A and B are shown apart, each in its own frame.
Chain A
Amino acid sequence: MDGMSIVAVVIGTIAFTVAAPLLGCLLAGIDRKISARMQGRVGPPLLQPYYDVRKLLEKDRVSVNASEGLYISCALFFTLLAGGIFFSGGSVLMSVFVITLAALFFIVAAYSTRSPYAEVGANREILQVLAYEPMVLLVAVGFYMAIGSFDVAAALGAPVPAIATTGLLFIGFLFVLTIKLRKSPFDLSYSHHAHQEIVKGITTEMSGPTLAKVEVMHWCENVLFLGWVGMFFLWANPLSILAAVAVALFVYFLEIVIDNNFARVKWQAMLKWSWLVTIIAGGINIVLLTYL
């Protein structure tokens, strides 16, 4: 990485830190509104996620140990860094690795509380990472093979968008995206909606300001993952950015529909199906790309 790209990542991270929570908050509000309408309810105000986070920040600071909050802060930082790398046109692969590091900090935070309920949540989160990570890595490899570079910026110079040769990879990615967006049927470790689970999965011991950080992290993750969706549709035409945004929003709507129509599955089913999809859709697409 040369000096210029480091500057780009720093500027990108700062911009992402400002913009992603705003966008992510609105997306979460739209999600809750649409979900409510699908269930025949009026639903909360659009800015409800913002009120929730402000409320959490007002709550008393209670924590079972001093390290939990630090781990969550690290998770939030690396999420912002992953977003900064991606949206400044940097390496997709690096973005994948850094967001995985954020996921690991989140898991360590839950384990550090020694709560049996949080540990169940953390175990499930590990299974989720195990389920989605191979597909996400194949997406990065497929992007490289289609565009000729891991850099997102390179896609804006490509004659055709990556989707032209990575259709199966895209479908496979949509499948594991349900896990990453924490939506049913794969919201095993913690659901963003008010679903009853083994107390509250991975966030059981997190409260007040710490939980607020988790919420903001989740907003930023969502924006980043939708960015990964949009990445498939970028090519030399600058208008392709609009196409990418439109597809990302459509995919988000699709995820809300899926969320509202499926019950949560057991972890065995999640692992089996996501790996099957990874091997079939991802594998075939990668093999085809090697012959192109």
Chain B
Amino acid sequence: MSYITKSPWVIHYDASSCNGCDIEVLAALCPGYDVERFGIINTGNPKHADIFLVTGSVNEQNIGVIKEIYEQMVEPKVVVACGVCACSAGIFHDCYNVIGGVDQAIPVDVYAPGCAVRPEAIIDAVVAGLGVLDEKAQALKAQNKAQKKGA
């Protein structure tokens, strides 16, 4: 078991959400749900974050921002699409300016549907993301070891 599963720091980005999902993401951090019980902290700095929570769909305005935040995050990292807009663009899927869900911009590991997504669903998705994060951490460790042997 990797320590990353005990201390997953999240960064939250509102792509083009109506704010419904954003409020639920922040609600998960408040006393009612208190995700800091699991070591989860909301960082605001991509270089410190392990889990990327995106709400809302991707459009031409924000696709660059989403990619930039993802690129700046340090491996191992996981992306969680929060809400149906982030999963598949939802009711906005055929809008002229909407490209689609977050997976049109960056690889998504966990999808948490809902309109708005419930805090319980976000916590479930993050816990599912921890499994992926652990796998990625192990893979990174193995890769570093192999590199050291090669050198």
Give the interface of A toward B (CB within 8 A).
Answer: 32, 36, 39-45, 48, 51-52, 54-55, 57-60, 62, 194, 196-197, 199-200, 203-208, 211
Contacts of A208 in B (CB 8 A): 74
Is B4 close to A, CB under 8 A? yes
Contact residues, B50-64 vs A (CB, 8 A): 50
- CB A193 to nearest CB in B, in angstroms, measures 9
CB distance from A216 to the nearest CB of B (A): 15
For the complex, what is the distance from the CA of A57 to the CA of B3, rounded to whole Å?
A: 9
A51 touches B41 (CB 8 A): no
Question: Would you call B48 and A200 a contact (CB within 8 A)?
Answer: yes
Q: Is B45 touching A204 in the complex (CB atoms < 8 A)?
A: yes
- Would you call A59 and B31 a contact (CB within 8 A)? no
Interface string of B73-86 (1 = CB under 8 A from A): 01110000000000
Q: A199-B45, A204-B45 given as contacts; is B36 within 8 A of A41 (CB)?
A: yes
B47 near A51 (CB under 8 angstroms)?
no
In the complex, how many residues of chain B place their beta carbon closer than 8 angstroms to a beta carbon of chain A?
A: 25
Residues of B within 8 A of A (CB): 2-4, 6-7, 31, 34, 36-39, 41-45, 47-48, 50, 74-76, 137, 140-141
Closest chain-B Cβ to A70's Cβ sits at a distance in Å of: 18
Q: Which residues of A contact B4 (CB under 8 A)?
A: 55, 58-59
- The 8 listed contacts between A and B (C-beta, < 8 Å) are A48-B39, A51-B3, A51-B6, A54-B3, A59-B74, A60-B75, A200-B47, A207-B48
Min distance, Cβ B143 to any Cβ of chain A, angstroms: 10
Measured between beta carbons, the chain A residues less than 8 angstroms from B7 are 48, 51-52, 54-55
Question: Are the C-beta atoms of B3 and A43 separated by less than 8 Å?
Answer: no
B41 x A42 contact (CB < 8 A): no
Select B137's contact among A58, A203, A205, A211, beta carbons within 8 Å. A58
Given contact pairs A196-B42, A206-B47, A207-B48, a sample of 15 additional A-B residue pairs in the complex whose CB atoms are under 8 Å apart = A36-B36, A41-B34, A41-B36, A44-B38, A52-B39, A55-B50, A57-B3, A59-B76, A194-B41, A194-B42, A197-B44, A200-B45, A204-B45, A205-B47, A211-B48
